[in-house]
Amino acid sequence: MNPTTHARTTALAIAATGVAASTAAAAPLIFNDRGNWETAVGQPLITETFEDEALGFVTDPATFASGLTAGVLGSDISMRIEAGDPDGISADNTTTDGRKYLRYGAEDETGTYSARFTLPTASTAFGCDISACQPFSASGGAPGQGGMNITLIGDGVFEDFFFQSDALFDDVTFIGITNDAAFTEIRLSITQIRFGGQSFEADDVAFD
């Protein structure tokens, strides 16, 4: 995916150059622009594009060509590799030209869950494009008013913070993270907002 094509200027409560997620020492920095995140990382990245994967459902957990492993914590939610918009519900493709992406959830699946990503080696940076996610606010307000919880886990590392956004994630949104302490697992908490299910798409998942 071309990061300059898909960079977003939504009303995120973070700067494109990155701001601390909390006031604690070594707090994660969060980015909403892939180019600025890549500059901050300053070293080669491994990127999982899912282009080498067959279309269809994948097992939980699933390990892909880059060494990235994806899974689900919480509700009984499926994962599958998709391209385009096979369910015809629109705003369901995280990429251009019908390329492949990883989808969590289906229209008939409900429940709150976490999209879990495990890295092949400890990393201090993680980033991905997301779409089709419409989270509740932390105070239980309308969909899209709030954001999602993000958790970083590693050897002696546990960072839990809130990614705040006042925009729906129906279109492509980039989330990038850097952290002083290395981590091996990232969890994105997806809160159910409708009886018809809560899907979530991820693509171009990168780490150092």
- Convert the pLDDT of each residue in 68-90 to its tens digit: 999 999 878 899 998 876 665 55
CB atoms within 10 A of CB 143: 16
Per-residue pLDDT for 53 more than 50? yes
Q: What is the mean pLDDT of residues 17-26?
A: 47
Token digits of residue 172: 């492509």
> Apex CA 92: angle with CA 112 and CA 6, to 5°?
110
Q: What is the mean pLDDT of the chain?
A: 76
pLDDT at residue 4, rounded to an integer: 26
Q: What is the mean pLDDT of residues 23-43?
A: 84
Q: Which of 44-53, 88-97, 169-178 is the least confident region?
A: 88-97
For residue range 125-140, list pLDDT tens digits in order.
999 988 776 665 545 5
SS3 11: coil
Per-residue pLDDT for 151 more than 50? yes
DSSP string covering 99-153, please?
Answer: -EEEEE--TT--S-EEEEEEEEEEEEEEEEEEESB-PPPTTS-STTSEEEEEEEE
Per-residue pLDDT for 193 more than 80? no
Indicate yes or no: pTM above 0.85: no
Closest CA to 50 of 73, 8, 72, 79: 79
Per-residue pLDDT for 24 more than 60? no
